[in-house]
Amino acid sequence: MSKQIHLQADDGHAFQAWCAAPDSPPRGAVVIVQEVFGVNQHIRQVCERFAGEGYLAVAPALYDRVERDCELPYGPEGVARGIAIRKQISDALALRDLAAAIAYVGEQRGVAESGVGVIGFCWGGTLAWLAATRLAGIDAAVCYYGTGIAGYVSEQPGVPVMLHFGEQDKNIPAADVELIESRHPDLEVFRYPAGHGFNCDDRPAYDAASASQAMARTLRLLSETLG
């Protein structure tokens, strides 16, 4: 069952989140962190995919701090508008919303015993990294093409982290990925013959083989850390 839910951060900010629940008791939960385009159809479908794998999935609407019900089109116009909204929301504020989503899923029946993962894409990939280094209540994090991770490379994750990068990603220099690997040699870092956004089947950059392989690896990490 899928539905819109309402959450509140510790600073009083009330916001929406998309919630997809499995048909049977959850084997754990995942918080899905949006790209620059908001909690759109693709992010909701990602939630549905993880629910189909047995996980309670929740995607907090981080743009609610600036604009409610924000779903942006793919392409230059959507990117530009998303960047403008994103600049008004600090990573610290976004983490407050993530913390609220993590707390929510952790309180649901069967999840406290199983664990919580955070999975993010683009900006969300950076936030998934910061959740692993700064937030309590999670057991694993997966970062898909996190554009800002290199800027936080000095921070140490407290849980297992997996990172997915595209070798043809023009938004993330290869030197950034190499820096992350050199500073965190214990992390699982995977490269794919694809560009930025390769997991999204609504974008021209979608690469089915890379997305499938990354998903299989992500599910493997979740099976090792949750449940």
The residues annotated as belonging to the active site are 122, 169, 196
Residue corresponding to tokens 């921070």: 155
By the 10 Å C-beta count (0-12 exposed, 13-18 middle, 19+ buried), 91 is classed as middle
CA distance 133 to 183: 14
CA distance 142 to 122: 11
Return the closest-CA partner of residue 85 out of 46, 123, 43: 123
Structure tokens at 30: 């995942």
CA distance 151 to 155: 9
Which residue(s) pair with 2 in the sheet? Answer: 20
At 68, give phi and psi (nearest 5°).
Answer: -80, 155
